[in-house]
Structure formats: structure tokens, C-alpha cells
Structure 1
């Protein structure tokens, strides 16, 4: 059940305590993929999991702007502060919980959101009337997780399967040629780069020519299966925080 497509009376009648909150980013993804890549991918995973899950699941509208200032030199990138992002996520989860959907998986598509989501979901569990957990789809695709870059083969493959009309396939070779092999500019274990333009000319990290719709289908299946397993785990979870004597 997608809230933006549902009447309030039907939402009130929904017999479930499960909700999915997609979060992404509006940021550069090279010359071949849209600014909304992270949001589109997160929505695709949430939609697939909700469709295949045995019980009803509420799917909230996606949060499309995240922690992405590292891409600020590329036109169209939007970002918010970590404090604002955490507060916004917490408020949306609180809204969901107020209607009885108090077991919430935050389905994330952007690496820059990970630390903030880990912190805010822990705060929700400790202090609010909800149980929330972060789920980053590209961490849940088996050995493929090691291939994650930025606008590289994983994200591009997901789009080529789930939203193929958004990918400029005629630009893949140029995207690969002017991209970077890895994230950052490293001295030992220290990353000297603050923003992505310092190590990639066009915003790409990885080789998007290695992407395919077939790989995207596999990635979507793996991540949606993992998300369904997570829903099983949180469905009966007591949202009340533990107390100590």
C-alpha cells in the first residue's frame, strides 16, 4: 500500500504494523544516470519487497534529498545537513508510528546517508514509540556489494532493469572513460579528498559499461529478498526500549 496513492479511509483500514520508508538523494550520477538515481533505486527495492511480502506493508513516500554535499560542484545536486536529515527521518517515522505502523525499515539508496540513519534509528528505538532499522540495498546483494562505486555497474544496472528510460546508454563509454576507478584520494588509510570532484572528472566511480538489465534484475531480487527477511525479523519485535534495573 503506497500512501501517496491511498485514501485516508483505506489507510485507516490497513491491518499491519509494517512500513517501509525509502530514502535517497538528489545528486549527480555522471552523464548517463539521473540525479534521482539513489531515490529511484531505493523505491524499486521497497516496491519489490512490499509486492512480494506475504502480509500488507505500508510504503511511505520517499525522502529525495539526503546528505550529499560532497557532490556540490556538480549541477543539480541538492543536500541537507545531517541534523536536518536525521530530524526529518525521525519525524516521518513518528508519523507512521502514530497510525500504528511502528515497525519501520528505512530503505536507503545513498552511501552518504548510512551513518546518519544508523544514529537516528538507534535514537528512535531508545526514545520513541517505534522500532526502526536502516536497510541499505547495495549492502544486501552478496558478493556484488564489493563492486559498489558511484554511478557504476551496480546502480546503473538497477536502473537499467527498474527504470530503463532514465539511463542514457549512449553515454556509458564516455562515462567510464572520464570516471575514477575508486572513491577518494588516499594517503595510506586517510582520504585527502573532501568532495567527489577531486578524484572524478564526471562524477563516476566504477565502470558503468559493465552494467546490464540482467544484473539489475538479480540485484533487485537479492535486495528485495533480504528486505523481506528483515520484515520478518521486525514484524513481531517489541518496539519498547530495554530497561535496566
Structure 2
């Protein structure tokens, strides 16, 4: 059930404790992909994963602004601090738990959110508010994960499959021309760059031309199946905390 379109009486009558919360970002993804890429992909995978499980799942509204200050030189990018993000997501999730939806999967589409979401899940779970785990779609796609860039092949492919009208196909050549080969500037296993503009001219990392719709369909299927398996595992898990040794 989608909370955006449900009434409070619809929600009252549910018999489930399982929910998903899509989490993304509003940030540059090069000249060819929309600022909402991370939200669109997170929502698409979240909805597909929910459809693949044979149980009721609450689908919360997406959280669309995340930890993205590293893209601040590119117009349209929005961000909040890590502290604000952790507090906001944590309190939003706690409000779901208040209504009995206390097994929650955070379906994430933005790399900058990963560490904070893990912290949020650990804190809420250890405090007994809810059992919360993060799921980042591009970490679940097997060998494809190695090609994850930014506005590169994986995100472009998934959008071409799920939201084909969102890709500016006439700008793909420009996206390729200004792209970086990899994320950051590395010396002695240290990334010396803090902002994306230090190493990519147009915000792109990786080759978006390598992300066609067929690859996007494969990514979509793998990620959605992985999320469905996780939802089943969360639903069945003994979430009581271990006793002190």
C-alpha cells in the first residue's frame, strides 16, 4: 500500500509490520540524466521489489534530498548535512514504527547516503524502535556493480529501461566527452578530492553509452529480485536483540 494515496483508515486496517522507504538525492547526473536520478531509480526498484513478494508491504513516500554536497558546484543540486539527514530519516522511520510498521527496508539510490543509512539502521534497531536495514540497488547487481560511476552506464541503463523519456539522448556525446574514468583522485589509497568538480568536467563518471535499455532491464530484474528476497528475510527474521555475553 502506498501511503501517498492511502487514507488513514486504509492504513489502520492493514495487517502488516513491513515497510519500504525509497531514499535518493536531488543532484547533478551530467547533461543527459535528470537531477532526480537517484530518487527515480530507488522508487522503481522499491515498487518492483514490493510487487514480487506475496505479502502486504507499506510503501512510504520517497526521501528525495540526501547527502550530496560533493556536487554543489553543479546548479540544481540540493543537499543536507549528514547530521540533518540522519535525524530526518531516523525520525521519519520512527513515525512508521509508531504505527506498527517496525520492520523497514530503506531502498537507496545514492552512494553518498550509504554510510549514514547503515548508522540509522543500527541505531534504531539497537534502541528497539524498529528493525531497519538499508538496501542500495547498485550494490546488489553482481558483476555490474564494478561499472557504477555517476550518470554512467548503470544509472543511464536503468533510467533507459524505467524512465526512458528522462534521458536526453541528444546529449550523450557531450556526457561522454566531459566524463571522468573513475571517481576521485587517488594517491596511496587516499581520495584527495572532496568535490566531483575536481575530477569530472560535466559531473559524469563512466561511459553512459555503455548503458543501454537492455542492460537496464537486466539491472532492474536483478535488483528487484534481490530486494524481494531481502523483504522476505526481514519479514521472517527474529529481530530480538542478543543478550550480553
Which TM-score applies when normalising by structure 2? Answer: 0.97
- Could you tell me how far apart the structure 1 residues matched to 2:149 and 2:120 are? 25
Q: State whether structure 2 residue 176 is matched by structure 1 residue 176.
A: yes
- Could you tell me how far apart the structure 2 residues matched to 1:78 and 1:242 are? 40
| Kept in 2: contact 1:127–1:241 (CA 8 A) | no
Hey, what does 1:32 align to over in structure 2? 32
Total equivalences in the alignment: 245
1:243, CA displacement in angstroms? Answer: 3.0
| Kept in 2: contact 1:156–1:208 (CA 8 A) | yes
1:173, CA displacement in angstroms? Answer: 1.4
Q: Deviations over 1:201-236 (max 9, x none)?
A: 000000001111111111111011001111111102
Q: Deviations over 1:9-37 (max 9, x none)?
A: 11111221110000000000000000000
Structure 1 stretches of 5 or more lacking a match? none
Hey, what does 2:101 align to over in structure 1? 101
Hey, what does 1:69 align to over in structure 2? 69
Which TM-score applies when normalising by structure 1? Answer: 0.97
Hey, what does 1:48 align to over in structure 2? 48
| Kept in 2: contact 1:179–1:202 (CA 8 A) | yes
Q: State whether structure 2 residue 112 is matched by structure 1 residue 119.
A: no
- Could you tell me how far apart the structure 2 residues matched to 1:45 and 1:122 are? 23
Hey, what does 1:140 align to over in structure 2? 140
Structure 2 stretches of 5 or more lacking a match? none
| Kept in 2: contact 1:22–1:108 (CA 8 A) | yes
| Kept in 2: contact 1:49–1:224 (CA 8 A) | yes
The CA RMSD measured in Å over matched residues stands at: 1.0
- Could you tell me how far apart the structure 2 residues matched to 1:26 and 1:12 are? 32
